[in-house]
């Protein structure tokens, strides 16, 4: 067993898989059900689906698509997008979702995190934080698909979400997302040093070495990526894939692997 989870994060838009760069220029890359089948074959431990169309359109989650994903997925999966109330969360769990990932609504209605945690248990409630570096070098949390500033410091926000009952955080660096330049390890470490709940590093992974840095230097509890599992080669041909388990085990279970 790996000591940490390595999680594909798949973006949904209008029931299709898309991928972008720095939260912009999203392009269609395939069918989500086909991707699930491939990840089943690769024996991936966990998946996360984030629907970026529901927030922008003010729509409910696509329950029909989520049910289809649940019927195909052999592994636990989390879902985020368009979640605004506990009734939606309850319905998602009934469909087979293991974790709900809440972003914009956590900022606009923090009590939702407390209510959801009471309903389902903290382990099932994940708060997603999208973070960008300011002109002056500090960090700020953004919501609404990374379009809206909150004036919230990510460390203070992470502590607030933990106190409200979040059981896990996904920290995505907007400036690194889709660049394959590696995680913002300094940001990850600031958050992990402050909170007691698991922190998932996301945004920028381009190699297993980046996973190792987030784990060993940033103290991330898990690592997530999109590009690495969606594209292949310098021309970014679409290829849904996942590293061999033996390679992950070799790299990630060695604490001094920083290359």
Buried b (16+ CB within 10 A) or exposed e, 142-175: bbebbeeebebbbbebbebbbebbbbbbbbbbbe
Q: Is residue 130 annotated as a catalytic residue, yes or no? A: yes
Token pair in block for residue 204: 């920028």
Give the three-class secondary structure for 38.
helix
Please give the Cα distance from 202 to 183 (Å, whole number): 7
Range list of β-strands (E), 179-221: 199-202
60, 68, 130, 256: the catalytic one is: 130
Which of 17, 22, 39, 1 minimizes the C-alpha distance to 146? Answer: 22
Residues 6+ apart with CB under 8 A from 244: none
Residues 6+ apart with CB under 8 A from 169: 126, 127, 128, 129, 158, 161, 162, 191, 195, 197, 198, 199, 200
User: Nearest 5°: CA angle at 126, between 98 and 16?
Assistant: 65
Residues 6+ apart with CB under 8 A from 218: 183, 185, 186, 188, 189, 192, 201
Which of 243, 235, 179 minimizes the C-alpha distance to 206? Answer: 179
A 10 A CB-CB count for 118 gives: 12
Task: List the catalytic residues.
Answer: 130
């Amino acid at each position: 067993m790996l000591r940490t989870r390595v999680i594909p994060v798949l973006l949904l838009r209008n029931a299709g898989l898309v991928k972008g760069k720095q939260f912009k220029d999203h392009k269609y890359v395939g069918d989500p059900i086909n991707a699930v089948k491939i990840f089943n074959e690769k024996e991936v431990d966990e998946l996360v689906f984030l629907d970026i169309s529901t927030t922008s359109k003010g729509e409910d989650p696509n329950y029909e698509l989520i049910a289809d994903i649940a019927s195909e997925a052999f592994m636990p999966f989390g879902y985020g997008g368009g979640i605004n109330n506990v009734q939606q969360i309850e319905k998602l769990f009934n469909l087979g979702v293991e974790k709900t990932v809440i972003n914009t609504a956590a900022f606009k209605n923090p009590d939702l995190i407390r209510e959801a945690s009471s309903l389902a248990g903290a382990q099932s409630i994940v708060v997603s934080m999208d973070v960008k570096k300011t002109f002056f070098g500090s960090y700020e949390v953004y919501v609404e698909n990374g379009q809206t500033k909150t004036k919230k410091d990510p460390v203070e926000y992470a502590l607030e979400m933990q106190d409200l009952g979040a059981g896990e955080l996904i920290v995505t660096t907007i400036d690194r997302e889709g660049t394959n330049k590696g995680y913002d390890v300094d940001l990850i470490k600031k958050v992990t040093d402050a909170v007691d709940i698991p922190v998932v590093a996301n945004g920028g992974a381009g190699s297993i070495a980046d996973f190792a840095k987030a784990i060993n230097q940033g103290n991330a509890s898990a690592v997530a990526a999109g590009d690495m599992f969606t594209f292949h080669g310098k021309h970014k041909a679409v290829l849904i894939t996942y590293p061999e388990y033996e390679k992950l085990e070799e790299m990630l279970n060695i604490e001094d692997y920083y290359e």
